[in-house]
Amino acid sequence: MKKIGITCYPSVGGSGIIATELGMLLAEKGNEVHFITSSLPFRLNHINPRIYFHEVELSHYPVFQYPPYDLALAAKMAEVINREKLDILHVHYAMPHAISALLARDIAEHKVKIVTTLHGTDITVLAIDDIFKNMITHAINQSDAVTAVSNHLASHTKQLLKIKQDIQVIYNFINEQEYYPKRLDFIKQQYDIKSNEKVIVHISNFRKVKRLPDIIRTFYLILQQVDSKLLLIGDGPECGTAMNLVKELKLEQKVLFLGKQKNISELLRISDLKLLLSEKESFGLVLLEAMACGVPCVGTNVGGIPEVIDHNQTGFIAELGDTDQAATYAIEILTNQTLWNSFSNNAVKRVETHFHSKQIVKQYEQLYDCLLTSL
């Protein structure tokens, strides 16, 4: 049994989901897991006596212009490392979580190993900013082990920064109890979607990198040939732009803005196609969730997306910004039932063989074991 601390962003988002699901599975396997986060991770939804939550409390002293989250986190990490005698502190995101972890390791008297998992945005966005570049490099080089969620992210990190550390690729995974194939067509009626209408889905945090306009323009082209509806799930800075474009293209009756949703798997079970046309995407966990439910995907030739979608087997890869190509691929999938069935079956199999939670959790455990035997 190991004692493992986990820090992640506890709100909705792939990195928080992975960190929380990993923690829950590690606890199921007999480890003691300590979440050190700013609020209860939103996916932490089942009781286990071996799971603990330590809240990072922010002080609002008048002398601080901004509450010092990173320092409060480091102080809490050091406290938990000492009190609980943690073996491993696994942080998700170099910036700021690995930085706080390094400080906590220096402060704590008990010896702990730090594992940092890179999820993307810290490298693809923050590491380009000169202010943070050296700090992120330091956090990576000083961690005891570093993992990245795709080969693309690992090599991109090495290209961009002076990395002395080995970066091990450990793919993301899904919760198989939640994401599995099962059609729930009665839900279509609840959303006023006709049984003959195809359902196309996009799920994201509506940041600019997700290219919402490309999703809507691709859907506009699909609609010229296939009676369908587009579900836009999520919320974020580009929501207004997306709504304006939907109005401009007169798609109000065809595009449903569903906002943030908890039961994504149920909405995937009424979907016929998943679109992810991002300009930056280290992995694309939403693709894996869709594939596990048997939904074929069209994604861009960007980041880790081609490592998730097997082109011409589980979906198609289109060039970034080429909405004509994305629409052609989508129409091919939606109008050829034999192709759809084959992509759907292949998608489910691919998740089982390449991204099964058992396999992935084992890789993290082996990494922890390796670090602890080198103590």
Query: Which residue from 31, 37, 172, 271 is in contact with ligand GMT, where contact means CB under 6 A?
Result: 172
| Residue 285 in the binding site for ligand GMT (CB under 6 A) | yes
Q: To the nearest whole angstrom, how small is the minimum distance from the Cβ of residue 323 to ligand GMT?
A: 20
* Cβ closest to ligand GMT, residue 36 vs residue 222: 36
Which residue stretch of 14-22, 140-148, 160-168, 294-302 sits at the interface with ligand GMT (rule: CB under 6 A)?
14-22
| Residue 121 in the binding site for ligand GMT (CB under 6 A) | yes
| Residue 115 in the binding site for ligand GMT (CB under 6 A) | no
Which residue stretch of 120-128, 188-196, 263-271, 353-361 sits at the interface with ligand GMT (rule: CB under 6 A)?
120-128
Which residue stretch of 25-33, 192-200, 279-287, 343-351 sits at the interface with ligand GMT (rule: CB under 6 A)?
279-287
Q: To the nearest whole angstrom, how small is the minimum distance from the Cβ of residue 14 to ligand GMT?
A: 3
DSSP letter string, 66-101: S--HHHHHHHHHHHHHHHHT-SEEEEE-IIIIIHHH
| Residue 300 in the binding site for ligand GMT (CB under 6 A) | no
| Residue 50 in the binding site for ligand GMT (CB under 6 A) | no
- Decide if 34 contacts 118 (C-beta within 8 A): no
**How many other C-beta atoms can be found within 10 angstroms of the C-beta atom of residue 26?**
24
Q: Which residues contact 363 (CB under 8 A, 6 or more apart)?
A: 168, 170
Task: Fill in the amino acid letter for 216.
Answer: I
Strand (E) or helix (H) holding 331: helix 323-335
* Cβ closest to ligand GMT, residue 220 vs residue 283: 283
Query: Which residue from 5, 14, 234, 299 is in contact with ligand GMT, where contact means CB under 6 A?
Result: 14
**How many other C-beta atoms can be found within 10 angstroms of the C-beta atom of residue 215?**
25
* Tokens, residue 100: 């706080």
Strands 32-37 and 51-55: parallel
Residue-wise burial string across 316-331, b where 16 or more C-beta atoms lie within 10 A, e elsewhere: bbbeeebbebbbbbbb
* Cβ closest to ligand GMT, residue 7 vs residue 124: 124
Strands 167-169 and 255-259: unpaired
Q: To the nearest whole angstrom, how small is the minimum distance from the Cβ of residue 45 to ligand GMT?
A: 18
* Cβ closest to ligand GMT, residue 163 vs residue 187: 163
Q: Report the interface residues with ligand GMT, using CB under 6 A.
A: 13-15, 18, 119-121, 124, 149, 172, 205, 207, 209, 280-285
